[in-house]
Each structure stands twice: as structure tokens, then as C-alpha cells.
Structure 1
Amino acid sequence: MKHTIQRTYNFNAGPSALPLAVLEKAQQELVDFRETGMSVMELSHRSPAYEAVHNEAIKRLKDLFAIPENYEVLFLQGGASLQFSMIPMNFLQPGQKAGYVMTGSWSEKAITEAKLFGEPYEVASTKEAKYCRIPELNELQYNDSDAYIHVTSNNTIYGTQWQEFPDTADIPLIADMSSDIMSKSVDVSKFAMIYAGAQKNLGPSGVTLVIIRKDLLEKANGKLPTMLKYGTQVKSNSLYNTPPTFGIYMLGEVLRWIEETGGLEAVAQRNEEKAKLIYDAIDNSNGFYVGHAEHASRSLMNITFNLPSEDLEKKFLSEAKEAGFVGLNGHRSVGGCRASTYNAVPYEACKALSEFMIEFQRENGVN
């Protein structure tokens, strides 16, 4: 008797939901990939069969994200957290300054690592406002001589997202897009470098995407360990050592799924529709649900909110779990609730959550 799989409503912040169609295809190909008689996980990373997977993923990414010709695409390991170190290690020399826009925990971690190599400083910060908003562009104060400016495009813990990026002219702009990459179109040419962990919108954990402009590579510190030089990975097409082959295969299949479901324009529209369902439940609750982020800075990827009391929040999370919702706890550092609505989270899950929120308020509303 065949077991019927019951898919949960997965709102985990990461690793997060993957498209069911991609999981099912991976299941079909798991034992015998493209008639090789082997799983993708068993293929040599030097083999033509794997090289095709690798290069297909790069091509799909370049096409979907409209990456200009003067950029390199790399698949690395170590997550965004290793990039916090690699970026200043490669591009921030002792005595040089680099500007960091402080919008949450991840930018705090990034600037901490940069302090080991040069003189990073805060271009702007919304910490005093508990990171409830993204700074206005006119609040950013930086120097023309800066090695680079660093931003975090979406803040998973606080539920804020950049709606418009600064034009830093000749100063390289570097963005950590771990939690909203490929959720909408972005003008890549504005950035000298974009990096992202895969485990939100691109695939399973274990792969780190780096998109880097060739002229930035020319400024890199050459006196670094081999594996910590971006140039090493560029020269070897990210195959200097064994890459996370299965993760890259899955990333390529997620990109194929994006293609087949209408591309980034369709993805962006779906994400707006999904987020609206939950934000409407918050906004129409007469204060029963209170969103953390200011309206103009609201994220379409991570929706953060609180209830009138901690006891009600605990009850909400407990009943939500019983109803099949997973991952709605806020980050341990801030508490509250959080719904992460990444690309692969279906509309139906967001609709179900919205309806649950409305019903919970009806039964528990404070008169």
C-alpha cells in the first residue's frame, strides 16, 4: 500500500521550502541520473555528466537574473558567513575604510569580521529603532575613497527589505542577498558583487552563490591562502576542489522551475500576492497583530509580527503547529512570530495561514 505524503505548511526561515516539482524530479533521478547508472551524488566533479549540470546552472542563472558579460558566477561553500570574512580579506587593506549599512544581525556580523582586516564604519544604522526600517538613501554618508559599501538586501530576523538600492557611483557596492535573491528582478550592474546562501530561494543548504564583477577581481589581495582567493575559483570555474555537487544540481533544477513557472516577473508577482494575504491579516486586525517592520520597509520574504501578549503568542504558535504550520517562531534573539514566504512557499500555504490568523483573532481577540 502506497504511503500518501502529507506536505506541511513550511514557513521555515532557512533551510526553507523547496518546490515540490523539484523534489519529485530529484527523487526520480536519484538512483540513475541521465542514464549514467549513478546518482548525481556519485558523479565525479570532473566528469562530463557533472560538468553539464554545473554549466547549465550557471547559464540559467545568467539568463534569468540578466547578469552582464563582465561578471563571473561562482559556486562556493561556507555560506554567507564565510563571505563576511572573504570580502574584507580580498578587498579591504589595512588602513582602508569600507562602509557598512547596518540593518540587522547579519550586517552586524559582517562588520565584525571586517574589523579584523581594515577600518569598516557604519554608513547608517537603524539599530536604535530596533531595525524596524531600512535607512533612507539620503541618510547614507560615505567616503569617495571607500574600498566598498556593503548592504544586506533583506533582513530575515526583522522582516525588512531594501526597496531601492543606493547608487554608489565608482565605489563598489556589495550586497548580501541571501534571503531574497531571485525573488524579483534586480539591476545587477549596480553591484560590484552579490552573494547569497542558497538555502532560502535557490536550493538546499551547502551552496553559496557569488556574482562578482571582473574589475573588482583585479583589486583583490593576492597574498591569501589559495582557497580564500576569488581568483582561484574563477580560474577553475568553481571546480578547484570538489564542490557541493548535489546542491548545485538542485540549484539548477530550482532555476529550471523558475523558468518553467514564468521567470522572475511571475515569481515577483506571486511573492507580492502571497505576502499581501498575511500583511492584510495583520493590517485588518485592529492592532491584535502588530508588524515589526515599517510599511515602507516591509519584506516580501519574511513577515514578522507580535500578538498582544507573550501568552497569546505561545498559544498562537502552539495551535498553529497543531494545524500543520511549521517555522512560525520568531528568531530566538527577538521572539514574536515570523512567516518566511520564499519563492517555493505556495500561495495555498499563505492563504491557509491568513485564514488561521483571522480565526485565531476571532476566538482570542481582546475586547
Structure 2
Amino acid sequence: MNLSESYTTIRQQTLDFCRYLQPEDFSIQVVKFASPAKWHLAHTTWFFETFILKDQVDNYTEFDKNFNFLFNSYYNNVGSRILQANRGNMSRPSTDEIYAYRAYVDAQMQAYIQTNPPKKIVDLIVLGLNHEQQHQELLITDVKYMLGHNPLFPVYNADYNLTADKNTSTESVQINAGVYKIGHQNKDFCYDNELGVHQVYIENFEIQNYLVTNGDYIAFMEAGGYTDFNLWLDEGWSWAKKLESKAPMYWHQIDGEWHMYTLAGLQKVDKTAILSHVNYYEACAYAEWKGMRLPTEFEWEIAAQQLNWGQRWEWTNSAYLPYPNFVKENGAVGEYNGKFMSNKMVLRGASVATSPNHSRSTYRNFFHPSERWQFTGIRLAK
């Protein structure tokens, strides 16, 4: 698939997800961290207009000069922007205008791609497409958060559950102590935080080739897992005490039975399905209860070729920090990953919401330990 075809395919995937949304769904922002669908549609388009078209196309005419302020996310080098918490206040521009914006920029991008741009710009376009794929997953999880906090628990798509998958293995993998290389080692696309190939020494360890299930976690809950402070990190215990429902996100106890909101609507919890929507604190508490631990991100990467992965983003016991020899790019692109290397934990793998061809064993996802609206799960090690 050439660059033009990749651009068309990936951009269309965003629109395909939005086909099932109602007009009123596009502007809703329930919480600060979950952006409206309309904003995702615009921001991913803004990326191409700002970093490619405005710099590379002579006499380029912006679709709307206000959009840089409205749809810049966190790039201080590009100018001022609205507060993240205010993204849901934009009833204007309309969703139709945003779709027109996408069509305008797409036409301009396809014309520019036909000029055979230099490799440096091609690499930037590829970064933009990976950026769009990241937002496709955020779009799915943000829409789920919006609909999952609607008192009617509306159905997004009856065929789009995303939480029904199950383990296919019951084995564990043994890894011998030794020195291993960590980091992205080929010429395919990766993010800068994966670069800086380096060696780490790992002791013998065992890692499960399956993820914690809903039934496993219910056993933890029924054993008093949310009320035993001995199991929790201090920050996690402070977080857990404030919970109204001592359960994973989207779980609701109805007539003595656990139900969970899915994008296919409210359904009974399948105890054999893989657990989802737990945060780092919950993952650590569960591991402590089982007498085990979370793997480090290095252990996870070393074992990845022997693991079944890709169903959930898996919490690791590693802080999100730069690799040795990490180099942050100059300008706005340098703000993409490096500026977030504080107060975050690394997740490895991918999830059922991850876009096609957007996962690899060196991918370093990262979120704050309290966050659980992504499709996050637990793999244990010892």
C-alpha cells in the first residue's frame, strides 16, 4: 500500500467509527480527559494542516484561521489553545463544518502527496497517520465513557462489544536470567520513546501467557480486595476509598448480579472473559492479593514473542522514563512524547480498540496510575 492509499484508508477508519454516532453525540465532553468526537475529527485534521500543508504548500489557504486555537492539543510551539476541559463547550463550529474541514485538508494532502515529497516530510506524514490511529482508539474509549455514563446505557452498535474475548492459553512462560536488548531495532515506524536500543540484565522470572479474567477479579472483590489496605499502594488506597462502586469501571450490580456497560449496551459480566478497565492501583492490589506482581516493561518486551497479547493494554511495573540516549526532537514534534515523562506508568501490548497495524512489541503506551477508561488489563509475573 503506497502513502496515498494509506492516508485514505486510515483517515476513513475514523469516519467509519463515527457512522454509528447520533448528531448530539459529537460535542459531548463528560470529563476533562475524554474529548468530544468532533474534537478528535478536527484535531487529527489540524495535525496535517499545521505540520504539513502550512509549511510545505506555497500560498496555502487555511480552512479557518481560528482552528489552530480551537484544535491544537498541547503543542506550545504552535501557539495558544483552549483549555482541554473546555473542548466540550464548542457547539460551534458545527460537526458539518468539521467534516468539510476534513474533506478540504484531505484533498490538499492528496495533491501534495502526488508531488513526491522528500523523505523527511514523508516521515512526518507517517507520524501524522500514526497520530490519527492513536486518536481512533481514544475516540472509541471516549465515546464509551460518554455513553457508559448516560443513565440509559445506550447501544453504540449491537455488534461492537469489545470485551467478550477470552484467553486461549493457561500456561506460563519461563525466562532465563541474562542480558537482553530493549528498544526498536528495525527500520519500520516507531515513536521516539522506543528508540535508544540498550541492554538490560534480567533475573529469572515467570510470566503468565494469559490475562486476568472477570471471574478472577470477582474473587478478589468478594475476598474484600477493595477494603483491605494491606493490598494497596498508599496512593491507590486513597483512590480506592473514594470509589462509590468497588469494582472495575462500567460495572454495576443489579439484583445481586454484576453487569457491565459495553458499546453493545449493558450486559451481564461474563466471568470467563478477559478483565478490562482497571487502573494501575487496582492491578497492583490484585497482584499483591495473588502473591505475585506486575512485570516490568523490559520483562514484558523480552517475553513478548512467547505471549498472546493484543487484547488489553497491560499495566507494567515501570515508570514512563526516557531510554538511554533518548533524543527529543526540536520544535513542536519534540513535544509529542518527551514532555510526558513524569507521573505516568508504562502499558505494553495493544487492545481490542487499537487500530489495525498500530501495535508492536516495543510500543510504550503510558497513562497516569489512576486512569482506567482505556481497555486496560492485568498480566501477572513472579
TM-score bracket for this pair, using the shorter chain length: under 0.3
Greater RCO, CA 8 A, separation 6+: 1
Give the TM-score normalised by structure 2. 0.23
Give the TM-score normalised by structure 1. 0.24
